Amino acid sequence: MIVALVAHDNRKPDLIDWVEYNWEKLIVHNLVCTGTTGRLIEESLKEKRKGNKAPTPHVLKLKSGPLGGDQQLGAMIAEEKIDLFIFFWDTMNPQPHDVDVKALLRIATLYNIPTAQNRATADFLISSPLFGSEYQPQEADFSTYLSRELPET
């Protein structure tokens, strides 16, 4: 399973806390993160596994969100490479890349990716019996959209 983990600056401590609480479930999966979030999560997981025989976490670190990481993650979603998306976003402060955030959430919805935008929903997703299973979400059918008639220009 490939789990994407993203957090805006003011929410990074919340996401790190959530990752540390759920580290045993997460460490066996491939993780994809944007920028600093990825570095912080990788450091946290390495610290958690000290003295354990837990596997070494694999964290793919993309660019920072405002520097293109949101688009990189969106492309991975469109290529059906992401199975679960946890995004702790800052709803109280405008982001310089708000349109990128909206596009990322839109593409995750479009491709039917289970998405959590807060800790409660993330808790529900990770505690689901479907987490880590061979669950195959229903594929989106874009045939109607792709076969539509376009007006003459």
Over residues 6-23, the pLDDT tens digits come to 999 899 999 999 999 999
pLDDT band at 86 (very low <50, low <70, confident <90, very high): very high
Alpha-carbon separation of residue 15 from 5, 53, 86, 132 (angstroms): 8, 24, 9, 19
End-to-end CA distance of the chain: 45
Note the CATH architecture for domain 2-146: 3-Layer(aba) Sandwich (3.40)
> Which tokens is 61 given?
């670190």
Of 9, 14, 17, 70, the active-site residue reads 70
Domain ranges of the chain: 2-146
- In this prediction the pTM is 0.88
Over residues 93-133, the pLDDT tens digits come to 777 667 888 899 999 999 999 999 999 999 999 999 999 88
Alpha-carbon gap, residue 4 to 73, rounded angstroms: 8
Alpha-carbon separation of residue 151 from 102, 148 (angstroms): 28, 10
> Which tokens is 13 given?
């401590």
User: 35: phi > 0 → left, psi -120 to 50 → alpha, else beta; which?
Assistant: left
Determine whether 70 is an active site residue: yes
The one-letter amino acid at 16: I
Position 113 scores a pLDDT of 95
> Which tokens is 58 given?
């694999």
